Structure 1
Amino acid sequence: MSVRMPSNFGRGGAQETALDLLGHEILAEKAAALGRAGQRVEETLTKLRKNGEGGDRNRLLKEAAEAVHGYFIQRELCGLRKHDAVIREYNIPRAVLVRLGAS
């Protein structure tokens, strides 16, 4: 005679459902953080394009580079490693990329 464990003690049941819910919430927060980082990139690049010719250029370049760097990090945390399409989509200036160490 063999004895089988009740299903609520195994890998299924409430424990697995709770882990699925937690994983779903973590993914949702990653996506929201990526969206906020992308919005910041858009805002800083718009400021740079509008006001980037005067004495504030260095400050605006620094802000844009920090925003782009944060966005790239957030993308990598989401598993997105290649940034070429994003650079084209946002039309990130070479001066900003150089500040990140790109050549």
Structure 2
Amino acid sequence: MSLRPPSSLSPGRSGTLSALDYELAAEKANALARAGRSVEAALEALAEARSQASDIDGHLNDAADAVFALFIQRELCGMRDQADAIRRYAIPKDVVARLGVVRR
């Protein structure tokens, strides 16, 4: 069984987007950009902590949370393969290993 959105929300026969489609696409792009900037900032903070040889556990957790949020946003935008994001942002393996971990 497939689920289709109402015809009022899908593009017209001419292939043009409605105003709502345009706004939704713009918001998805904005949210994806914000998530990407958050990952970049968290990874920079992690690299700084590593260079100072300080306690990196908190920075590692913050980076994993930011990457997890980015992956969720990418999936919402229809991008299912996360390997591209891992390469693009140069996400370290120890961050990827912590994705989805629930801390108490």
TM-score interval, smaller chain: 0.7 to 0.9
SS in 1 for 2:18: helix
Letter of the structure 1 residue corresponding to residue 27 of structure 2: E
Shift of 1:23: 1.2
SS at match of 1:91: coil
Q: Kindly report structure 1 stretches of 4+ aligned residues shifted beyond 3 Å.
A: none
The letter for the 2-side match of 1:66 is D
Q: What are the within-5 Å matches in structure 2 for residues 45-60 of structure 1?
A: 45-52=43-50, 53-55=53-55, 57-60=56-59
Runs of at least 5 residues in structure 1 that lack an aligned partner in the other structure: 1-10
| Counterpart code for 1:26 | L
Q: What residue in structure 1 maps to residue 4 of structure 2?
A: none
Q: Provide TM-score, normalisation by structure 2.
A: 0.75
> Considering only CA atoms, is the larger Rg found in Structure 1 or Structure 2?
1
Cα distance in 2 for partners of 1:86, 1:75 equals: 9
> More helix by proportion, 1 or 2?
1
Instruction: State the superposition RMSD in angstroms.
Output: 1.9
Aligned positions of 1:11-90 closer than 5 A: 20-52=18-50, 53-55=53-55, 57-90=56-89
- Letter matched to residue 43 of structure 2: L
Query: TM-score, structure 1 length as denominator?
Result: 0.76
In 2, the alpha carbon distance for the partners of 1:65 and 1:42 equals 12
* Structure 2 unaligned blocks of 5 or more: 1-6
Residue identity (%):
46
Q: How many residues align?
A: 85
